[in-house]
Amino acid sequence: MEDGLIVDTDILIDLLREKDYAVSLIKKLEDEVELAISAINAFELYRGAYKSQNQEKNLASVKGLLNSLCMLNADEDSRGIAGAITARLERDGNMRYPGSAYRFDCSG
């Protein structure tokens, strides 16, 4: 599978909370593209788990989710290019999933 999406942290949180819309969205997307996360997603999920009242359970859930998705590591150049491309796509109305996920190519 060559195309993929970086999933927004809010969707990942709702997936961990087993909200119907998030579960359905992720299941649908998994059939179409590879799903991925960034280091920022991981940070935000771990931060929430450590702030929660049930740290042990939530940390296990976060680790399980993170292990099931492709982790993207980007250098400064690729972050700048991605920012420029997504800004242009959003401005032109060509984002497939605006505000919730960004496309990427898994083949590289």
> Per the confidence metrics, is the pTM higher than 0.85?
no
The Cα-based distances of 66 to 42, 53, 71 in angstroms read 7, 20, 8
pLDDT at 101: 46
Banded model confidence at residue 2, pLDDT cuts 50, 70, 90:
low
Q: Where are the domains of the chain?
A: 3-105
| CA–CA gap between residue 73 and residue 89 (Å, rounded) | 22
Say which CATH architecture domain 3-105 belongs to.
Answer: 3-Layer(aba) Sandwich (3.40)
Q: What is the pLDDT of residues 49-106, one digit of tens each?
A: 999 999 999 999 999 999 999 888 777 887 788 778 778 888 888 765 555 444 454 5
Token look-up 């929430």 returns 48
Per residue in 20-30, pLDDT (tens digit) is 999 999 999 99
How far apart CA 79 and CA 92 sit, in angstroms, is: 20
Sign of CA dihedral 100, 27, 70, 81: negative
